[in-house]
Amino acid sequence: MTSTALVTGASGGIGMELARIHAEKGGDLVLVARSQDKLEKLKEELENSYGVSVIVHVEDLSQPDAAQKIFEATEAQGLVIDTLINNAGFGGHGRFHERELAKEQAMIQVNITTLTNLTHLYLQGMVARRQGRILNVSSTASFLPGPLQAVYFATKAYVTSFTQAVAEEVRPHNVTLTALCPGAVLTGFIEAADLEGLAVWKTAKSARSVAECGYSEMEKGTLVAFNQGSLKFALNWLVPAMPRKSLLKLVRSGMEKKH
């Protein structure tokens, strides 16, 4: 039976690589993003290279009705989505009180609300069929407060917590949820979030390597997946032992641009 995956934010970065991996394994796809040209190009690549069926759905996930529109479209097409990959997300740099509130609200809508809505809509069918996997792309930022990226870090904390809680609820139904928590990744996210110049990018990993980790751990049903063992150790053991104010200063230092 061919697995059909819906991937948000599939026009680049980790989302594009996750779509490629699924296609390489012979799975059909629904690709979701705002850029029709990029999605159509990826559709052509995957269909020609792997003989899979790819459907493009152009949607702005910052709109409140985005998840419902996507769900209704796949239902109307008779598609059974048994793999949901909530990859879409974005960040932004600067002091919270100085940033545009509309940008922060859009970030919450994409990173939290649309992710939650899509999970709710597709999870019901998975539970009824007793089969399904959900991969929510979170971040190592979810384990920390984030001065100069306050809302972004907080949205990812929600994603990691939400994913684990729902995973436990549906565990008896043979459905798994995985939170992928990568460190720095070389994608268009850096420029889009105005994050050039941060020291953290010196150790950034490729989008393909992160996607391979996430997809593999999703298949295993891992609750929280890290692409770097050193980060897993630091976040699980070292960070919780640090004094709170020292941790905040350390994170802020890492988020300050070096000129």
- Least confident span in 28-37, 54-63, 89-98, 220-229: 220-229
Q: What confidence score (pLDDT) does residue 205 get?
A: 77
Q: What confidence score (pLDDT) does residue 7 get?
A: 98
Residue 184 binned pLDDT confidence (cut-offs 50, 70, 90): confident
Q: Who has greater pLDDT, 212 or 186? A: 212
CA angle 135-128-46, nearest 5°?
A: 40
Catalytic residue among 41, 50, 103, 152: 152
Query: How many Å separate Cα 135 from the centre of its chain?
Result: 7
Per-domain residue ranges of the chain: 4-255
Across the chain, where does the E strand assignment appear?
Answer: 4-8, 28-33, 54-58, 83-86, 132-137, 175-180, 185-186, 205-206, 224-225
Q: Which residue, 102, 89, 116, 85, is CA-closest to 4? A: 85
Q: What confidence score (pLDDT) does residue 147 get?
A: 93
Chain segment 44-65, per-residue pLDDT in tens? 999 999 999 999 999 999 999 9
Q: What confidence score (pLDDT) does residue 200 get?
A: 55
Catalytic residue among 43, 122, 156, 215: 156
Residue 255 binned pLDDT confidence (cut-offs 50, 70, 90): confident
In the residue annotation, 152 being an active-site residue is answered as yes
Residues in the chain: 259
Q: What confidence score (pLDDT) does residue 227 get?
A: 86
pTM of the shown model:
0.88
What is 4-255's CATH number? 3.40.50.720
Coil, strand or helix at 185? strand
Q: How far apart are the first and last CA of the chain?
A: 54
What are the structure tokens assigned to 162, written together?
A: 């939400």
Residue 242 has pLDDT above 90, yes or no: no
What are the structure tokens assigned to 86, written together?
A: 């909530």
Residue 161 has pLDDT above 50, yes or no: yes
Mean pLDDT of 92-107: 96
Residue 1 has pLDDT above 80, yes or no: no
Residue 238 neighbours by CB under 8 Å, 6+ apart: none
Average pLDDT in the chain: 90
Chain segment 126-145, per-residue pLDDT in tens? 999 999 999 999 999 999 99
Q: Which residue, 88, 82, 122, is CA-closest to 1? A: 82
DSSP for residue 204: P
Q: What confidence score (pLDDT) does residue 192 get?
A: 53
